[in-house]
Structure 1
Amino acid sequence: MKWVPKQKLDQMSAGGVHQGVVLAITPYQYLSLEELMEQTKSQPFFVLLDHIEDPHNFGSILRTADASGVDGVIIPKHRACGITPTVVKTSTGAVEYVPIARVTNLTQAVTKLKEKGFWIFGTDIDGTSYQNWDASGAIGLIIGNEGHGMNTALKKQVDEMLTVPMTGHVQSLNASVASGILMYEAFVKRNE
Structure 2
Amino acid sequence: YSEDIIVVLDGLQDPGNLGTILRTIDSANLKQVIVSKDTADAYNPKVVRSTMGAIFRVNIIESKNLVESLQDLKENGYETVVTSLDTKNSVYDIEYTKKVIVIGNEANGVSKEVQELADYKVKIPMLGKTESLNASVATGIMIYEYVRGVVKGAEI
Report the TM-score when normalising by structure 2.
Answer: 0.91
Report deviation, 1:70.
2.2
Q: Percent identity?
A: 33
1:178 aligns with 2:138: yes
Hey, what does 1:27 align to over in structure 2? Answer: none
Runs of 4+ in 1 over 3 A off after TM superposition: none
The structure whose RCO (Cα within 8 Å, separation 6+) is larger is 2
Please point out which of 115, 121, 131 is paired with 1:161: 121
Hey, what does 1:81 align to over in structure 2? Answer: 40
Hey, what does 1:129 align to over in structure 2? Answer: 90
Letter in 2 for 1:91: T
Query: Once superposed, what is the RMSD of the aligned Cα atoms?
Result: 1.3
Report the TM-score when normalising by structure 1.
Answer: 0.74
1:34-79 per-residue CA deviation (whole Å, 9 max, x = no partner) reads xxx3xxx3x44210001000000000000111001223100012x2
Hey, what does 2:26 align to over in structure 1? Answer: 66
Residues paired across the two proteins, number: 150
1:138-189 per-residue CA deviation (whole Å, 9 max, x = no partner) reads 2210001100001011111011112100122220000000000000001122
Letter in 2 for 1:156: E
Letter in 1 for 2:39: A
Report deviation, 1:108.
1.0
Larger Rg: 1
Letter in 1 for 2:149: K
Which stretches in structure 2 are left out of the alignment for 5+ residues? none
Please state whether the residue corresponding to 2:23 is helix, strand or coil: helix
What is the rounded CA distance, in whole Å, between the counterparts of 1:120 and 1:99 in structure 2?
20
